[in-house]
Structure 1
């Protein structure tokens, strides 16, 4: 099918907020095909426990591609227990150089409570400024909202929830059905 005959999957807003020793990753539940909502309760934020070390991951993009990347990340974390940055860099290198992985269309936000990282298929492992990371169709809306809320007397979860609500109010590919995972530093 061509791009014009198949509108493609859209959707997802994922945000990670780090504040006062806690990191929260929140994601909406909407999956859309063109202008149609296919599912409103998808779970795009997961807790992984490779080698007994908790990592929270949220994904935007193709679900099958994201699950492939999460499995690869989990394997990298099992090979390097407790070393999220090293595992993320190894995943990004594989993603960039492996011909199969290069075709995957997804992005990840990952945290172990200490680091908050964005991993992309371009080979990027980014530690965002201002302790906020956001990806997906409503990511910029959520990012802007969270940046505005960081100086208020709110904890990380409240900021993430409020930012996601603002994104859901603006972005038609984002809903207010949230999955939220928190992890302590």
Structure 2
């Protein structure tokens, strides 16, 4: 089976009014074939008050994003409660267990990473990154966050640009959504 490598996602929070999530646009098939350069892997949901980014299977991630938005509606926009419900459903539902993706979700108060293993992680710092080039973007975001006065959006863009210069599964066709 040919494996698709898709994405590097980086999120930064510099306070309730400075939150951004960005992702590159590359989707790679196997070890060498770049199938798409301009995929959009970040978006605003729940009336624009929540930003999401996903790494993994694109179809799975779209399905999870839709389910997460429904959970937000059920819980009146409570990000943590919606994340817990989604993680529980993702882990226990036979049809969802095979979904392969990671999500970063953020609102003005919180930032979380949600996985299909039932994990919900609130990062210790104001930044997080996932996906093929996640370690590179995380390292860059760490340095920029701690040693500059750059905005969340500027850190996200530069971290993804740095990751794209190192990781063959990450390109510099970057999309950023911010609150």
Runs of 4+ in 1 over 6 A off after TM superposition: none
1:42: which partner in 2? 39
TM-score (norm 2): 0.95
TM-score, normalization: structure 1?
Answer: 0.92
The alpha carbon displacement at 1:82 in A equals 2.0
Partners of 2:35 and 2:48 in 1: CA distance: 34
Aligned residues: 176
- Deviations, residues 109-144 of structure 1 (Å, cap 9, x unaligned): 001121010000110111011111111000010000
Distance 2:168 2:136 in 1: 12
Structure 2: where are the runs of 5+ without partners?
none
Structure 1 residues without counterparts, runs of 5 or longer = 1-5
Q: Would the aligned equivalents of 1:17 and 1:133 in 2 still touch at CA under 8 Å?
A: yes
**Residue of structure 1 in register with 2:65 after alignment:** 70
Residue number among 26, 29, 32 corresponding to 1:30 in the alignment:
26
2:78 aligned residue (73, 80, 83) = 83
Give the conservation status (yes or no) of the 8 Å contact 1:117–1:126: yes
**Match in the other structure for 2:12:** 17
Shift of 1:32: 0.5
